[in-house]
Structure 1
């Protein structure tokens, strides 16, 4: 889900934009501001991925605001809204993704939003791994391996890549050679499977060695043992942190945040490996545990805004997690943020109905009903 900020100095137009954008299932409005100065002050906390900015605003216009926001996050996608087409040239000077002419209609957003979502996917695909300390292998949200210089590794065959994925998913265990052969070549003739496995093991070792990636892959009569440090992959780091840390606290919060922010999504980017279901479930569970721990730590420190942001980021990857939705809604309720509660509840309710044919828990429905009746605050 793409996190969006809206800045528009005219309240009726701001409310309209918030409704139109909030209805899209791929977007989440995390901030709507009538003041560009307030939007700038809250930007680093909210971390939106896209911003709809009014061009003509007092004190600071949308183009100046976009310049300042992009100094903080150069990957921010900006869409300008304006009543004057002549601003288009200035809009593209700051690398805006698009601009919309007022009054904005639903079909205008239908044109722009697919581009925003496509741009995010492209940015994620081309963003190199950090050379200084980042994992060589990214398994969460994609599956890519990079050498020490940041260059993307080119696998000789798809089966070589899949074998490496298997070892990353199930490291530090002896795997029977016949099991490996059957998993990777279930349709092959029995006499060919071991031959295929031996060739693929050779290609895997050769490719990683040439890329400057050190691994320990040993062969016994029973099978193969793959050993690697947790730092090799983002999956390994996630597993290692949760194994070492019973809770997030002042001693490990910075590390927890780095691992949490590096999470890109489902294991191996959703590649259809028939053997990966249990590892995929494990990774999702570990990420949920990490998100819950960070949110709890932030609440303990008196930072409910940070806790809410953590839960929003998590739900962008796991939108059907009812417990986390309930936790976020409770934070909105505790803070007296009636409109935020109702907006999030309505998206949650709609998603549950469309995806699972279910309703939210009775206590959340009742609180939403009460807040709708009394809503008059933020």
Structure 2
């Protein structure tokens, strides 16, 4: 394998190169003191592995690694750090590969072994469909002949959280200061930036390990996530709604598929307060879509289908009165009078317990008139 070494001390470079030569099967194709010259050479030569000192003149080693990985996302970078560097704890926490100065042969052997195992595990596949799912919880799937749910190993919960936040704001530039305020509110800026660089680095490594070609680019003082050829179920669902505004006999199969895509509220099983506004926005879209499809079935006289949809709405959103009233009307159409009364009782109970109010006057009036009509029919 080919390696490039970057350190601001020539003696350290010579020492590390000597150790790597003793290990064997490693060709050191360049050693650099100047980080910018190193970056230029790395982008041109595309080595398999880079040994990179953290404390470099003019630029932090982690920031340099970040810039390199924007162009070479699959490159393996090993950080070299002093024992007293406060960043060591952060690296251990994020499981970023590093060696501590003075570099020991045993530790270097272990680093190379880990890299070789990781490299051997990479297999060349055809062109399966990579997809991220975010209804209920975050998951990653790969579809070829079958769909496989991938076991994505996030090094920290913050890495998972920051990735999900950038995913929600895909194609937008999110400032580093906003990320620091949201994910490291009580950490001073210098240490927070170090943590952020480490976490972005680890996110890229995680995405590379599952072969998802997602870009996280750094520009000015922010980051931007681009999905490229990776599908996102929330985006696909919204596009489907936008492209099929009318429910009719021809488009019904599309709308039924869209109803099945929405398996639960957006990230409802994740503890992300910042996702609540987006969750509510998508919930309203789903609510409107389900109502539109149910109205189509009602207009066709297919009451059982409409009832099934409103029961689903009631299960997913039990604190909205819309489904109760619609079910009362539908059960009346199919002459299931007991179910009408049951829905009204449940509605009154829900409104009283949750909001301390009675049903809307229009619903009360409808129910009173319905009772009179039923009583009249019984005479």
TM-score, normalised with respect to structure 1: 0.58
1:295 corresponding residue in structure 2: 294
Q: Does residue 1:153 correspond to 2:152, yes or no?
A: yes
How has the CA–CA distance of structure 1 residues 251 and 212 changed in structure 2, closer, same or farther, with 3 Å as cutoff?
Answer: farther
176-185 or 259-268: which moved more?
259-268
CA–CA distance in 2 between the matches of 1:325 and 1:135? 39
Q: Does residue 1:241 correspond to 2:240, yes or no?
A: yes
1:10 corresponding residue in structure 2: none
8 Å contact kept, 1:231–1:237: no
2:132 corresponding residue in structure 1: 137
Moved over 4 A (4+): 132-135, 369-373
Query: Secondary structure of 1:183's match?
Result: helix
8 Å contact kept, 1:175–1:223: yes
Unpaired runs of at least 5, structure 2: 1-126
How has the CA–CA distance of structure 1 residues 254 and 280 changed in structure 2, closer, same or farther, with 3 Å as cutoff?
Answer: same
How has the CA–CA distance of structure 1 residues 300 and 278 changed in structure 2, closer, same or farther, with 3 Å as cutoff?
Answer: same
How far the C-alpha of 1:140 sits from its partner, in A, is 1.8
How far the C-alpha of 1:250 sits from its partner, in A, is 3.6
How has the CA–CA distance of structure 1 residues 147 and 156 changed in structure 2, closer, same or farther, with 3 Å as cutoff?
Answer: farther
TM-score, normalised with respect to structure 2: 0.58
* Cα deviations by residue, 1:235-265 (Å, 9 ceiling, x for unpaired): 2222222232323334432232223123232
CA–CA distance in 2 between the matches of 1:336 and 1:150? 45
CA–CA distance in 2 between the matches of 1:253 and 1:231? 27
8 Å contact kept, 2:141–2:150: yes
1:162 corresponding residue in structure 2: 161
8 Å contact kept, 1:182–1:193: no
How has the CA–CA distance of structure 1 residues 271 and 362 changed in structure 2, closer, same or farther, with 3 Å as cutoff?
Answer: same
* Cα deviations by residue, 1:198-217 (Å, 9 ceiling, x for unpaired): 21111112112211323232
* Cα deviations by residue, 1:117-170 (Å, 9 ceiling, x for unpaired): xxxxxxxxxxxxxxx999733322223334553233221110111112112322
How has the CA–CA distance of structure 1 residues 252 and 153 changed in structure 2, closer, same or farther, with 3 Å as cutoff?
Answer: farther
CA–CA distance in 2 between the matches of 1:273 and 1:151? 22
Unpaired runs of at least 5, structure 1: 1-131
Q: Does residue 1:224 correspond to 2:223, yes or no?
A: yes
How far the C-alpha of 1:288 sits from its partner, in A, is 0.8
RMSD (Å), alpha carbons: 2.8
Q: Does residue 1:360 correspond to 2:359, yes or no?
A: yes
How has the CA–CA distance of structure 1 residues 162 and 216 changed in structure 2, closer, same or farther, with 3 Å as cutoff?
Answer: same
Query: Secondary structure of 1:268's match?
Result: coil
CA–CA distance in 2 between the matches of 1:159 and 1:169? 15
Written as runs of structure 1 = structure 2, the 5 A alignment for 1:105-120 is none
How far the C-alpha of 1:372 sits from its partner, in A, is 5.3
CA–CA distance in 1 between the matches of 2:303 and 2:275? 36
8 Å contact kept, 1:185–1:193: yes
Q: Does residue 1:277 correspond to 2:251, yes or no?
A: no
CA–CA distance in 2 between the matches of 1:243 and 1:163? 28
How far the C-alpha of 1:357 sits from its partner, in A, is 1.2
1:53 corresponding residue in structure 2: none
Q: Does residue 1:171 correspond to 2:166, yes or no?
A: no
1:72 corresponding residue in structure 2: none
Query: Secondary structure of 2:274's match?
Result: coil
- Number of corresponding residues: 246
